[in-house]
Structure 1
Amino acid sequence: MRKQHIKDTFGSIDIYLLDQILKGTYDECDMILDAGCGTGRNLLYALKSGAKVFGVDQNPEAIAQLRLFASSFPQVDPEENFKVVSVEELPFESETFDLVISSAVLHFAENMNHFEAMLNSMWNVLKPGGYFFCRLASEIGIESLVRFVGNGRYILPDGSERFLVNQEMLLRLTKKIGGELHEPIKTTNVQNLRSMTTWCVRKIKSS
């Protein structure tokens, strides 16, 4: 019963996003965007809490499922809040959101220019003082096991091809976009098959 209660509350949420929620990091976040939301596995708790939730994804079927699911929550307009659009072309005004979620999206970048286009698009719609939660593949801990194929992309030991980051790159990008880490960079090594890194950044308020 307890397990079912937890799933009813949080759904299939990313465990590292749940970690931030349980810490209270996002308690004051009312406007939330999931950029690359899929069917909305990371959005159930936010919807239930009454937040104004938005999502974009390039998969029309995923957005259709999310619109149907979210239609029971009065604070959202499914057709307006959930769009079929690419992350690098977000259809929102600058500084709109308190929290932007990017879960398993940025490692599909075709090259560094594409990566930064997606990152800058998400950062642009984030309010000063807002939070950016990102989970993405990295080479951290498996540097000797990945094979570079060009344009920032690598073949991982699990056979997949991904755009990979490392700690130096994330620290440099944090500074470049005008952010600050509010949590240390954390990486999970999955039996030397792949590494997934959690990058939690807050947008610095202008003085």
Structure 2
Amino acid sequence: MKVIIFGAAGMVGQGVLRECLADDRVEAVLVVGRSPTGRAHGKSRAIVHGDLLDLAPIESELAGFDACFFCLGVSSAGLDEHQRVTLSAGTTLARVNPGSTFVYVSAAGADAQGRQKWARVRGATENALLALPFEAYVLRPGYIQPRTSRTPFYRLAYVVARPFYPVLRRLMPSAVTTTEQIGRAMIAIADHGAPKRVLGAADINAL
């Protein structure tokens, strides 16, 4: 399969990219983002595009792919821009790759009717993607154990928290996962689907 990854420079996206490059089912990877990932591989190429709200200049390069793994986090610009960027990618890919698979990394607790803005925006984004004419899936991981992070503070925090991950996994198996498991779950979804469209950490780990 051929896949597009948005947000491969981030914590989750780095893990997803590693799994895609290691999996024989993935024959080609197109990485789209505002900055380069700094990772070169024979079956991947990158498009650095500053304005993710306007994908028209690169739209022709997005055609012909089987799946999109959308891992872009919420930037300093905030939730509203995240929603606009996500739906920009979703509507564009639904048009150029109808019938493809789109997997969106959301957050546990997302709810379009929730009390907190982040939950409402994430939930509304999920609903909009699920209504588009492709096979959309939503991942709602809880605590994510990464391999690494580019942000020094997060990198230190993960080093401190790493010894506690096995305990968290035993006590709350439905609330914890890893970036590797998220990447493998995305590939499995693109390959043969999933039993439901919205998946929590336990579902991700099972896939």
TM-score (norm 1): 0.48
Tell me which structure has the larger Cα radius of gyration.
Answer: 1
**Structure with the larger helix share:** 2
**Structure with the larger strand share:** 1
Q: Which has the higher contact order (CA 8 A, sep 6+)?
A: 2
